[in-house]
Amino acid sequence: MVERSILFRARPASAGRRSVSATLAACALGFTLAGCGGGGSPAAPGPAAAPSCDLAYTVTDSPLLAGLDPLLGEQWHLRNTGQNGGTPGEDLRALDVWTASPPTRGEGVRVAVIDDAVETVHPDLAPNVVPGASFSYRPSSRGSALPLPCRAEQDDHGTAVAGLIAARDGNAIGGAGVAPRAGLVGLDALSTSLDADIADALGREREVNAVYNNSWGSIDNGKLHPAEVAFTTAIEDGLGTGRGGLGSVFVFPAGNGGCYLPEGGNASTCQRDNANFDGYVNKRGTIAVCAVDDTGRQPWYGEPGANVLVCAPSSGDRPQRVTTTALKGAYRNDFSGTSASTPMVSGVVALMLSAKPELSWRDVRLILAETARRNDPADSGWTQSPASGLWFNHKYGFGVADARAAVARARTWTTVGRRDDLLVCTANAAAGPRPIADAVGNAPGAPLVDAVAVAGCGIGRIEFVEVIPRLAHAYAGDLRITLESPSSTVSELADTRLCGGAGSDPCGAFEGWTFGSVRHLNEPSNGTWRLTVQDRLPADVGSLNGWTLRIHGRP
C-alpha cells in the first residue's frame, strides 16, 4: 500500500455549512449500515457498525421537487458574474450548455466518484445516483451499494466532490453540478486505500461507467511517487476495453504542491512540486487538472507540469471558495484545492459524452485541449506552438475547460480512433556517460544538451510524449530537465527543489523515471529533439547515460 493524499481534505463538519433540511437521521433499513455508523434508533439484527463511526442515516423516498436552486447564484464556477469581487466570465460556461439548442445536462452518462465515501442519500445527489451501481469497500460494509460516510470529520470529501459533478438542478434545493442530470456512482475505495481496491474501483463496471473522477493523488513533497503496477494495469485496461472499446475517461488532480515545506524545513524554504513527479497523473491515459481562482489566476498551491491538460475553478489567495454538497443533507461554501477543480472537468466530460456518446478517450482529451479558454493571458508562461497553433502554459496546461466550446466541438467531431489505433515511435539516445557540470556557488552549471533525430515516424500529429532519462546523480533535486521538440516548443519536465528526509537522494532518482508531456500536442514528430539537463545547486554531481523518447499520436 502506498501513501495517498486527498486534495484537499475537507474541513470539519461545522465549517462553512448550510443545511436545507434535516431528512437524515438514524439507520432504519432493517439492518445496520456500517457506512452510516450505527447509533440513533435501534436497527434490526445485522452486522454491528464500526465503533469509530458517528454518522447515522434514514433512507426514505422523497418526492422530487421542482423550482429554482437557491444556491445556484453562489456557484460562481458555473457562471461568474463578479460575485464577491471575482472577474466576470472566469467560469466553466456550463450554464450555456444547459440552455443551448439542443441542450444537454449530462443525461445518459455515468460518472464514478472514487473517494473516501459518498452520501448517496443526500437529497441533492440521490435523484442522480444510479440504483444499485455504487459499491462500498469499507470492511464492515463491503459489497453494500451504499458507500455512506462513517466519520463526520474524515469522510466528507467524496460528497463534496460528487456535488460538483452532478448535484441535481431545478429541484428547489441547494445548487447544481456541472452535469446535473448525469448518473452518479459512489466507490469508497479510499476508505481502505488498498492498491487492489483502488485498481478494482478504476475498472468497476467499465462497460457502463464512462468517467472515473479521482480527487486524490500522491502526497506533495517534491519526491517521485511511482504508480503501482495494479494502478497502471487498471488504467491501460480501461483505455482499451472501457465503454465497448471507446475507453474509460480518467480524471485526476495535477496536485496542490505549489508551496510545500521539505522535511525539516520552515516557511522560508517553501518549495514547488511538479505534477510530473506523481506517477498517477503523468500517464497518457489520465487527464491532469489544475486550478484557477475566481480571477483566472493560479492559486498559491498551484502545481505546474508539462503533463497538465486543463484547469478548472477553485480557491486561491482570495477568500472565495466553492459551494457544493456536504454531509447530512447540507451544503458548504468552503471547498477548495484541485479536489474541487477535478470534478468540474469530469462534469464537462459528462456533458461532452452526453452530446456525443461515440467520443473515444482520445477524442475527449483533444477536444478539451483545443477548446480550452486561455485564462490569465498576460502571464509570461504562455507560448504558442508554431506547428499546431495551440497555446500552452505549464501553470495552466491549455487553459480553463470551456464546457460551451467543448460540447459544440464534440457534436461535429470526427473521431481520431481508439487506444489500439494510436501510433507509437521510439528513439533511443546513447548519450554517454556524459558528465553534468556541477553548479558553483550561485552559478548553475553549464547545460548539457543531447539530441536525438526522429525520422520515418508516421506520426504527423502528436498526442502524448514520454521521456525516460538514464541519469546517475547524487541528488536529483539539483537538476532542471527540459525537452525541446523539432517545432521549438519546450516541455519543462523537472526543476530544482529541496526534499529533505533521510537517504542518499530523498527526492528520488530520475534513473528510469517516465516523464509525460502534452505540450507538443498536434505537432509533427519527425526532426531533432533535444534533452537539456542542468545542475543548478552545488555539491552533488552526476552524469547522463542516455535517454529514451516515446511519441504517441496519429498520422
Choice among 5, 314, 315, 339 that is catalytic:
339
Q: Residue 335: which H helix or E strand, with range?
A: strand 330-335
> Residue 213 is placed in which grid cell?
473522477
Residue 9 Ramachandran class (φ > 0 left, ψ -120 to 50 alpha, else beta): beta
**Beta strands at 110-114 and 209-214: parallel, antiparallel or unpaired:** parallel
| Distance set, CA 121 to CA 27, 127, 144, 350 (Å) | 12, 9, 13, 21
Choice among 77, 157, 225, 552 that is catalytic:
157
Which one-letter DSSP state was computed for residue 420?
G
Choice among 115, 124, 188, 495 that is catalytic:
115
- Asked whether the beta carbons of 358 and 416 are under 8 A apart, the reply is no
CA–CA dist 311, 363 (Å, integer): 18
CA–CA dist 143, 137 (Å, integer): 7
- Angle, CA of 482, 437 and 551, to the nearest 5°: 25
The question of whether 339 is a catalytic residue gets the answer yes
CA–CA dist 118, 199 (Å, integer): 18
CA–CA dist 315, 322 (Å, integer): 7
Nearest partner of 295 among 391, 369, 377, 371, judged by Cα: 377
CA–CA dist 335, 348 (Å, integer): 19
List 532's β-bridge partners, or say none.
449, 482
The question of whether 115 is a catalytic residue gets the answer yes
The question of whether 473 is a catalytic residue gets the answer no
Q: Residue 468 carries which side chain, given as an amino acid letter?
A: I
- How many CA atoms lie within 13 Å of 387's alpha carbon, on the beta-carbon side? 18
Residue 266 Ramachandran class (φ > 0 left, ψ -120 to 50 alpha, else beta): beta
Q: Is the dihedral of CA 369, 375, 378, 380 positive or negative?
A: negative
Which one-letter DSSP state was computed for residue 478?
G
| Distance set, CA 99 to CA 95, 96, 170, 371 (Å) | 7, 5, 13, 19
Count of beta carbons in the 10 Å neighbourhood of residue 499? 23
Residue with cell 459489497: 143
Give the distance, in angstroms, between the CA of residue 289 and the centroid of all CA atoms in the same chain. Answer: 5
CA–CA dist 263, 258 (Å, integer): 16
Task: State the catalytic residues.
Answer: 115, 157, 339
